[in-house]
Amino acid sequence: MVQLSRARTAAAVLATGVMAVSAVFTAPAAVAKGSSTPKPVASFDGPRGVDVDRDGRIVVGAADGTVSLVTDRGRHPKVREIGSVPATGLAPAVAAGRHDKFYALTGGGEPGTGAATLYLLRKGRDAKPIADIAAYQQRDPDPFNQEGEPTESNPFGVAALKDGSVLVADAAGNDLLRVYPNGHIVTVARLKPRTVEVPAGLPPEFDGNPIPPVGTEITAEAVATSVTVGPDGYWYVGELRGFPATPGTSEIWRIKPGTRNAVCNPERPHKGDCRRFADGLTSIVDLAPGSHGSILAVELVQQSWFQWELELVDPPIGGLFRVRPGGSIRELVPGTLILPGGADTAPNGKIYVTGPVFGPGSLSRIG
């Protein structure tokens, strides 16, 4: 089994990607039954984070750090800026809490810089930092780190809970955290690496590092990018999968609410408080609750983030998938999403998606 030292983690790729992309959807391919072509609702620069509150208003995070509230009613949707957080190269993840409280999560950086921080936003007030995730990870190193940087942090996904606490998925820390209103943080679960095989079609080297031959076994980090509360109340975490980002090796984990210090173990996926909900996905960047107990999963690039970084994919088509209990997976609006950043379901059943995550993009509606 072979390991490469830092052949560029997915977290770094997403923080530095600059490919020019101009639209969230392309000419539609065959559309899955029960879905429809995405329809743009509002334009944003590099939109990523998206969450729909109980009133059907959509919260969107853009690349410059602004967080906006979109009301999609009638012919002319309204867009109102709630506030802003430090720009870190990628739009913040966002979540809608109760009582007009909104949360924004900035991407990776050093402690005390405003990066890797969870913020509370309220109308008419400045963004308030609640928790420095990077500082916490300095005291809570990843015991399964494969890159030699166990205290690195790149918080990437966020979900608000009914009790006022917030779940944070850290892509570099490979863990799920819970942040309480007073800023106290606890570790909910750690995601172990997985042994994967080098896929076909990769070049012999990347950034001066040789890439092993096809079929070589490599230990690849989970890269926890996403978290949501499912229709059943359980907490779900999605993986991007680190180098070599082998397609079909991203998992979704189901975690019992209230859990602390669980281990999500690919070698024992059906044991303990963290159990595998689904397997066989690729480069997951967001999760959302779906209908009839399902979970929606967003793939950044269906061939994998690494193949896109190598410029082997053009255009970089991602995907939106409905995953049902038992593991069945069905793609919605196939062939239409370019580098999607996030998705969520409104109370009326419509699905909202954001993207592309780099360059001009939009919030779009499906259904």
Instruction: Kindly state the tokens that stand for 235.
Output: 């907490």
- Least trusted range by pLDDT, from 162-171, 200-209, 275-284: 200-209
Alpha-carbon span 216 to 231, nearest angstrom: 39
Mean pLDDT of 348-355: 98
Asked if the structure places residue 8 within a domain, the reply is no
Looking up residue 247, the CATH number of its domain turns out to be 2.120.10.30
Number of structural domains (the chain) is 1
Sort 171 into a burial class: Cβ within 10 Å, 0-12 / 13-18 / 19+. Answer: buried
Distances (CA, A) of 103 to 84, 248, 262, 346: 11, 31, 25, 18
How much is the average pLDDT of 123-151? Answer: 96
Q: What is the pLDDT of residues 191-230, one digit of tens each?
A: 999 999 999 999 999 989 999 999 999 999 999 999 999 9
- In 3D space, the residue among 26, 6, 14 whose CA is nearest the CA of residue 333 turns out to be 26
Instruction: Determine, yes or no, domain membership for 3.
Output: no
Nearest Cα neighbor of 305 from 245, 262, 232, 345 is 245
Query: Given the DSSP bridges, would you call strands 342-345 and 155-160 parallel, antiparallel or unpaired?
Result: unpaired
Q: Which of 222, 227, 224, 225 is nearest to 242 (CA)?
A: 222
pLDDT greater than 90 at residue 27: no
Does residue 302 lie within any of the structural domains?
yes
CA angle 106, 282, 5 (to 5 degrees): 70
Q: What's the alpha-carbon Rg for the chain, to the nearest Å?
A: 19
User: Residue 356 — φ and ψ, nearest 5°?
Assistant: -65, 155
- Evaluate whether residue 162 is within a structural domain: yes
What pTM did the predictor assign?
A: 0.93
Give the pLDDT band of residue 74 (cuts 50, 70, 90). confident
Averaged pLDDT for residues 10-32: 44
| Section 331-355 average pLDDT | 98
Mean pLDDT value of segment 318-327: 96
Amino acid at residue number 146 = Q
Whether the per-residue pLDDT at 14 is higher than 80: the answer is no
Q: For residue 144, which amino acid is it?
A: F
Alpha-carbon distance of 245 to 201, in angstroms, equals 12
pLDDT recorded at residue 35: 56
Q: Where are the alpha helices (DSSP H) in the chain?
A: 10-16, 133-139, 305-309
Which residue type does 145 have? N
Residue 254 lies in a domain: yes
Scan for tokens 């009613």, then name that residue: 73
Residue 211 domain flag: yes
Task: Compute the distance between CA of residue 166 and CA of residue 178 in angstroms, rounded to an integer.
Answer: 6
Residue 100 in tokens: 């007009």
Structural domain for 193, as ranges? 16-366
Closest of 351, 235, 350 to residue 298, by C-alpha: 351
92 conformational bin, left if phi > 0, alpha if psi -120 to 50, beta if neither: beta
Confidence of residue 100 (pLDDT cuts 50, 70, 90): very high
338 lies in some domain: yes
Question: DSSP secondary structure string, 230-244?
Answer: -TTS-EEEEE---TT
The predicted pLDDT at position 18 comes to 38
For the segment 52-71, what is each residue's pLDDT rounded down to a tens digit?
999 999 999 999 999 999 99
Place of tokens 């969450």: 51
Question: How many H helices and E strands in the chain?
Answer: 3, 29
Residue 75: the pLDDT is 86
Residue 28 has pLDDT above 90, yes or no: no
HEC profile of 94-116: EEECCCCCEEEECCCCCCCCCCC
Per residue in 240-259, pLDDT (tens digit) is: 999 999 999 999 999 999 99
* Residues whose CB falls within 8 Å of the CB of residue 276, separated by 6 or more in sequence, listed in order: 251, 252, 253, 254, 264, 266, 269, 270
To the nearest whole number, what is the mean pLDDT of the chain? 92
56: in domain:
yes
Q: Is the pLDDT of residue 148 over 80?
A: yes
Mean pLDDT of 346-360: 97
